[in-house]
Structure 1
Amino acid sequence: MSVQKTEHNAEEFIDEKIDLEQSSVILEEEENSPIPEVAAIVSNKDDPTTPVMTFRYWVMAVIFSIILSFFNQFFAFRTNPMTISTLVIQLLSYPFGRFLAAVLPHGRLNPGPFNIKEHVLVALTANCAAGTAYAVDITVIQKVFYGEDFGFLANFLLILCTQILGYGMAGVLRRYLVYPAAMIWPANLVQVALFNTLHKEEDLKPGQWTRFKFFLVATGLMFLYQWIPGFLFPVLSSIAWICWIKPDNLVLSQLTGAGGLGIGAISLDWNNIVSFLGSPLIVPWWAQVNIALGFFIIAWVMVPIAYYTNLWEAKKFPILTPALFTRDGQEYDTQQILTNNVLDDKKYEEYGPLRISTFFALTYGIGFAGLASMMTHTWLYHRHKLVAQWKQSRDHTEDIHHKLMQAYPEVPDWWYAALFITMTAIAIITCEVWDYKLPWWGVILAVALSAIFSLPVGLIQAITNQQPGLNIITEYVIGYILPGRPIANVTFKTLGYISMAQAMTFTSDLKLGHYMKIPPRAMFWAQLLGTVIAGLVNLLTANWLLRSQKDICTEKNHLFSCPSANTFYSASVIWGVIAPDRMFGPTSMYNAINYFFLIGFILPIPFYYLKKVMPNSFLEYVHIPVLLAATGMMPPAQAYHYTNWLAVGFAFQFFARRYHPEWHLRFTYVLSAAFDSGVAFMVLVSFFVFTIRDATMVEWWGTRYDLCPLEGQPYYPPTEPAPAPAPAA
């Protein structure tokens, strides 16, 4: 997200001395952060007497954490998923906090006005509950695709340890990634600016709306509008008008259908637009340009060329799908090659090798390239800054914010150590007691990989706002060590990848608390509270939907087809059942995919030197890792999701930002939160009033799903033999 115009400029900070009972800190005259962007946004003042973990905090933290974790897990199962961001909670908790301060009796339960520190802590707790637990997908694919259920306790323990392990790592990382001024964490500056904006009286012109009034009106309007594409007229969600011209033309359907490459397809459904990529209203325009360029090159140039030249027998399969196939294009029945959910070599030889769509294979290749390019890009563009700031962090250079934080008792190291050891032990016990087929040493290896990579990844993210993912590496490693074990593969990936990702989330939140002067021990308990609530609510919501929805996570259920869980399942088969040696090894037809590691490693180099030769040109905005990550959500995302997302992004992040900057600054983020909220309320009302009772809209042309019937069909029907494929370049 781009950094908003700051509410405080560095010149506005007046000289001040603080002499409080809780603090012996004396500010030097005009002392501020040595980082200009931090000095311009983050206040260099603090009042340690400000109440934080009040009764109001506990009420709002628990309520909003439950709501957010339920909403996001519920929407994760939907065919067009969406995520309610913490921004919504930031906006809603502000008037709710002020309301509680007004109605509660004054005293210990209501110690004065609702303050900014309470507000920050509520948002941070909710932020820990915002992301759906990755391990829930393990439970889903076990029940739906592998026909096994270890029970609620096993599921919850796995979720708990994978979500909290990273917190123990954050305790070590804080010395290097939180305390030093050099560790900026740019995304947090946006949050600081928003909190300051909400708690500062708005300077309104006559007749001008407050942000909160704008939020309420926009939410109500979107709630009413969403009934049209979401229930009454679903065709508006994906208007593949070019395909409708001649729906019986296979190539036209593949290129222009919503289930194909989506050329010209239009969506008038906000849920559809934000379902996989998040809101386009908060992504800076330079990043959207890179995403657009990457999408165009990969989805509309590389994929059609590869498909229609029949690369890797492409024409036997649909042009865009995460599904798994046999050699003749039939659906791959994984159960035919498993015994007790472990690969049976004899059955595999009889049934035949696994085939995937060319686009799916290229997606993995692009993922390899993106990971390698991140390393090269970071070294070329940020090595001097990283080295300098690493040296500074080792010196424990204290800026004003670190000095102010000395007023509060720090969290003892043994708290974090105990948490880390306990969660590792729970992970080992869970995998040993229940049949996850991941031995104790596999758990330790996964945790070790996560711990080893956490500091270098954190250094990169703290400076560049980019996080290299470990999901591909972890799948690769365990796929070679323990081939043929799908549940072991996804469990290892979750322990290795999500533990690191959670460590980055926790560390980032600790830095936000550092900027806003939240007592560290309050942060500790707030983060644990949000994480535990989220894990419990995520699992309860998933189990409820798995029991109540018929044919959930299949194509038969149009509302709850679980695109992410299906892709997760496909990955478990590719990396776990078949394993990387068979799938991408020397004897595989997809072996060329491995060269993408080298391509990604080299690609940033010419652009780096071209920028030196041609400074101040368009090359300044080319960011190879962002470009390569453009199609990272495809599949399960469809091409038309990207085109409509980019169109809306252009309207707000380019046009509105350039030609209506004042309106953009005041209302764009608020509008994004309002639209998300309006859609969420509509979908839930629709679900409980109609869907759960098996009531549907009266069938008419606007409710049909077959207006472009060939968009998901292969070029060669499965029953017809295809000609020999073109050799892999």
Structure 2
Amino acid sequence: MEETKHEYPADKLGYVDEKNIVDNVDLAEDADNENSRIEAVRLVVPITDDPTLAAITFRFWTISFIFSVIGAVIQQYYFFRSTSGTFSIYFVNLVSYGMGKAMARTLPMRSISIGSFSMSFNPGPFNLKEHALISIAVNTAANAAYAIDILSAMDLELNHRIGTLGALLLLLTTQCVGYGMAGVLRKYLVYPAEMVWWPNLVQVVFFNAIHNTDEFKSKKMVRGWSYMKFFWVVSGVLFLWEFFPQFIAPIFGYIDWICWIKPFDYNFWAIFSSISGGGVFSISLDWTSIGGSTLYFPLYAMLCNFGGNILSYWILLPALWMTNTLGTKAIGHPLTSKLFHVDTSAPFNITPYLNPDYSLNEEKFEAEAGAVKMSPMYAINFFLSFVALAGCVSQIICFQGPQIWKAWKSAISGDEEDIHTKMMRVYPEVPQWWYGLFYLIMVALAIVTCECYGLELPWWALLISLAIGWVMTLPIGAMQAITGFQPGLNVITELICGYMLPGKPIANMVFKCYGYMSMYQCTTLLSDLKLGHYMKIPPRSLFIAQFYGTVIGAIINYYTMILIINAHRSWLNGVGQGDPSGLWTGYNVQTYWGSALIYGALGPQRMFSNAGGYGFIFYGFLVGAIIPIILWALSKKFPKVSWEKFNIAIIAGGMSAYPNGYSMGILGGTVTAILFQFYLFRYHKAWWQKYTFILSAALDTGAAFTGLFIFCFLGGGLSPKLAVSMPSWWGNHITAEGNNAPYLAVDRCGAAINPDGSQNWTSGTTL
């Protein structure tokens, strides 16, 4: 049968004004209806489609199942390992391409039938749409589900399992309830051209390059290479290089060069160490600390994020430390999420003050502990989290609200409709009632799960957690789609539950999980719907693939967790002496459980009242809400200034990076963003269009492959017998005892002894 292809003319009008192109998104831009109003999308997303290509095929079911199982096992495996890693979706994309092509050559050209349903074993050449759909299904499966934290904490800390059915219901409902919300929000967050969802552009370029579509056949890279040859060369080079910062010479990832001037000075350690302190002017030669998103995320968003990092890591932290504000030096560590006794500044352990049901023993706590405190930077982190949440809502309402509303009405009416939305009308849409019914089923199952399996969360509290997700998903999703950044709901959900249900740490964990995941999974589906928009995947096929991958991932996550806990319980629950090889750890579980004890047992009423000293954090809501309004007013007074580019939500998000993550990527990330999103995008646009997205994919893939290889082989991931230890040399300086003595870490920064003669401690101290 002759291929039918719908072609659409290239844009006839000019591009975005040169003064604004570095920001990529201009919601007020007038553009041609026959191509996207967003220039980056125009440059890389083809406007051709072949509606005859099947997306759900026998090859899709087979390949996606294999990689969904593998990905879910590996990600759950990483959850309990001391060495972190990521199951690269580009690895899946590459290998699945080879498998799909092989199946297309070898499978018989006949069909299987079940009743009226029929499917061909081999419908023809392995095509672009089924390849993209495999990637989407695997991406939803290859995660360690957030609810695994709850099940693991109850198993390891309470020695209690709620049963297989209850566990699977908890996993499925927390992972799927957000999907029902996507049906309502797709009109706002998928159809409008302004909702870009930036990482999808990398996927679009990758899939078109590997399938050598018409738009990419004529494009040649350096030395006449094809897109995929360029991808393999760059990815291979980085794969080899990454063995240095990730294994051979970790110091290349933590070049804290200022600290080397006085490596055993206590203040230098706190300010210049990128592992334990602010990492001021730290340099990293590890690509994983920079990331491919710096090449294509909007420049103003990247600068807001890195600007927030600099304000916190490089300015605020040194100021607090050197002035010893709020007893920062007495705590002994500038960055930690631990609690401390007010009088002695010794780490606080909440366990002795808990009743058998894990509620707080008020009398014992008041008599023996009295009050506790947190590090100043950790307290400020809560304040900034509230600034980011309120700022996100206010920013979207003030600056993007009118444009989103106008774009939505245009998408619905067909006036000034985005070309990709117009092309997708060829395919039957998922009916609204599918999403509505799916959501009601998931909510009903969630209520049954909470009420019948001892999770301590009453049905009305569950509905409140889901309501939080509903209220926050639109502004958070809009900000993520436009800028690539989003604030989280972790802090606000656990605080709200702490006020509603004091003394119930299990309920706190469950409330936080449902509230956060309803938003997170909804935005995940919306992002995939946008990828389907760009790739012209039928919406119903996409919905099926998402749900299919989620179910497989949840089931595999659960059974992998059970196998690991059964085999290594004494190493994971902190009762034994730990894994002698240092490969297995229960740190993630302990952190999640510790947070539930603080907010569920100790309670935010005690920690965040004015009497407790941290009442100021709630002013973050006011600050976050007011700043965008002020900027909006200024934009009316001085319209030539792009006030909306000063995004307080992203800035606050960058500032509240504590205590997670290291700061060595700030300098490199900032330089990379300016190079690609300002200089190359403005002055060498043809080069930017040709190389940026495939380069980003190649660099991220090479780094991810190195991490996966080290984990599986050199790190003993497949078998402890394969584990290899790098000999000690100046690039790692690891002693026979497994530490960096006399330094605190591999960055060669910091004395092991405090000025008062006491032993320094790390952020791994138990709660």
The answer to whether TM tops 0.5 is yes
State the Cα distance separating 1:527 from its structure 2 match. 0.6
What does residue 492 of structure 2 align with?
A: 473
CA contact (8 A) 2:198 2:296 kept: no
Output the CA distance in 2 between the equivalents of 1:288 and 1:127: 25
Output the CA distance in 1 between the equivalents of 2:104 and 2:58: 10
**Using a 3 Å threshold, how does the CA distance of structure 1 residues 262 and 419 change in structure 2: closer, same or farther?**
same
Output the CA distance in 1 between the equivalents of 2:167 and 2:659: 26
**Using a 3 Å threshold, how does the CA distance of structure 1 residues 227 and 466 change in structure 2: closer, same or farther?**
closer
What does residue 370 of structure 1 align with?
A: 388
Is residue 156 of structure 2 the alignment partner of residue 141 of structure 1? no
CA contact (8 A) 1:316 1:717 kept: no
One-letter identity of the residue aligned with 1:531 = T
Is residue 72 of structure 2 the alignment partner of residue 60 of structure 1? no
Query: What pairs up with 1:697-708 in 2 under 5 angstroms?
Result: 697=725, 700-701=728-729, 702-703=733-734, 704-708=739-743
Pick from 523, 527, 530: which aligns with 2:546? Answer: 527
State the Cα distance separating 1:488 from its structure 2 match. 1.0
Is residue 315 of structure 2 the alignment partner of residue 301 of structure 1? yes
Pick from 169, 188, 204: which aligns with 2:220? Answer: 204
**Using a 3 Å threshold, how does the CA distance of structure 1 residues 129 and 712 change in structure 2: closer, same or farther?**
farther
One-letter identity of the residue aligned with 2:468 = L
Query: What pairs up with 1:70-109 in 2 under 5 angstroms?
Result: 70-77=73-80, 81-84=84-87, 86-107=89-110, 108-109=120-121
Query: What pairs up with 1:137-536 in 2 under 5 angstroms?
Result: 137-145=149-157, 148-174=160-186, 177-178=189-190, 185=197, 188-189=200-201, 191-199=203-211, 200=213, 201-204=217-220, 207-257=223-273, 258-271=275-288, 273=289, 280-317=294-331, 318-327=333-342, 328-339=344-355, 340-352=357-369, 353-392=371-410, 395=413, 405=424, 407-455=426-474, 457-458=476-477, 461=480, 467-536=486-555
One-letter identity of the residue aligned with 1:366 = L
Output the CA distance in 1 between the equivalents of 2:658 and 2:562: 27
Is residue 629 of structure 2 the alignment partner of residue 626 of structure 1? no
Provide Cα deviations, 1:490-518, integer angstroms capped at 9, x if missing partner.
21011112112211221232233244332
Is residue 26 of structure 2 the alignment partner of residue 10 of structure 1? no
Identify unmatched segments of 5+ residues in structure 2. 1-6, 14-31, 111-119, 745-749, 761-767
Output the CA distance in 2 between the equivalents of 1:177 and 1:686: 43
Is residue 139 of structure 2 the alignment partner of residue 121 of structure 1? no
What does residue 576 of structure 1 align with?
A: 600
State the Cα distance separating 1:464 from its structure 2 match. 5.7
One-letter identity of the residue aligned with 2:345 = G
One-letter identity of the residue aligned with 2:613 = M
CA contact (8 A) 1:316 1:715 kept: no
Provide Cα deviations, 1:322-368, integer angstroms capped at 9, x if missing partner.
22322223332221122222222223223423322111111111111
**Paired residues, number:** 695
Moved more, 297-306 or 545-554: 545-554
Output the CA distance in 2 between the equivalents of 1:148 and 1:73: 20
State the Cα distance separating 1:79 from its structure 2 match. 5.2
CA contact (8 A) 1:490 1:572 kept: yes
Output the CA distance in 2 between the equivalents of 1:228 and 1:362: 36
Output the CA distance in 1 between the equivalents of 2:424 and 2:168: 35
Output the CA distance in 2 between the equivalents of 1:411 and 1:620: 35
The percentage of aligned residue pairs carrying the same residue is 35
**Using a 3 Å threshold, how does the CA distance of structure 1 residues 278 and 608 change in structure 2: closer, same or farther?**
same
TM-score (normalised: structure 1): 0.83
Moved more, 510-519 or 580-589: 510-519
State the Cα distance separating 1:319 from its structure 2 match. 0.8
CA contact (8 A) 2:85 2:711 kept: no
**Using a 3 Å threshold, how does the CA distance of structure 1 residues 533 and 233 change in structure 2: closer, same or farther?**
same
**Using a 3 Å threshold, how does the CA distance of structure 1 residues 154 and 422 change in structure 2: closer, same or farther?**
same
State the Cα distance separating 1:584 from its structure 2 match. 0.8
Provide Cα deviations, 1:513-542, integer angstroms capped at 9, x if missing partner.
244332233222111111112223333444
SS at 1:355 equivalent: strand
State the Cα distance separating 1:151 from its structure 2 match. 4.9
SS at 1:600 equivalent: helix
**Using a 3 Å threshold, how does the CA distance of structure 1 residues 296 and 137 change in structure 2: closer, same or farther?**
same
State the Cα distance separating 1:713 from its structure 2 match. 7.6
State the Cα distance separating 1:165 from its structure 2 match. 0.7
Pick from 679, 682, 685: which aligns with 2:710? Answer: 682
Output the CA distance in 2 between the equivalents of 1:270 and 1:184: 25
State the Cα distance separating 1:125 from its structure 2 match. 1.2
TM-score (normalised: structure 2): 0.79
State the Cα distance separating 1:686 from its structure 2 match. 1.8
CA contact (8 A) 1:70 1:538 kept: yes
CA contact (8 A) 2:252 2:285 kept: yes
**Using a 3 Å threshold, how does the CA distance of structure 1 residues 12 and 686 change in structure 2: closer, same or farther?**
farther
CA contact (8 A) 2:188 2:404 kept: no
**Using a 3 Å threshold, how does the CA distance of structure 1 residues 462 and 222 change in structure 2: closer, same or farther?**
closer
Moved more, 317-326 or 194-203: 194-203
**Using a 3 Å threshold, how does the CA distance of structure 1 residues 381 and 194 change in structure 2: closer, same or farther?**
farther
Output the CA distance in 2 between the equivalents of 1:229 and 1:43: 37
CA contact (8 A) 1:91 1:212 kept: no
Moved more, 222-231 or 631-640: 222-231
CA contact (8 A) 1:480 1:579 kept: yes
Provide Cα deviations, 1:361-389, integer angstroms capped at 9, x if missing partner.
11111111111222222233223213323
One-letter identity of the residue aligned with 2:709 = F
What does residue 22 of structure 1 align with?
A: none
Output the CA distance in 1 between the equivalents of 2:649 and 2:677: 21
State the Cα distance separating 1:95 from its structure 2 match. 4.2
SS at 1:491 equivalent: helix
One-letter identity of the residue aligned with 1:113 = P
State the Cα distance separating 1:163 from its structure 2 match. 0.3
CA contact (8 A) 2:503 2:602 kept: yes
One-letter identity of the residue aligned with 2:519 = M
Output the CA distance in 1 between the equivalents of 2:419 and 2:759: 71
Provide Cα deviations, 1:120-167, integer angstroms capped at 9, x if missing partner.
211221232244322222234334555544455443321211001111
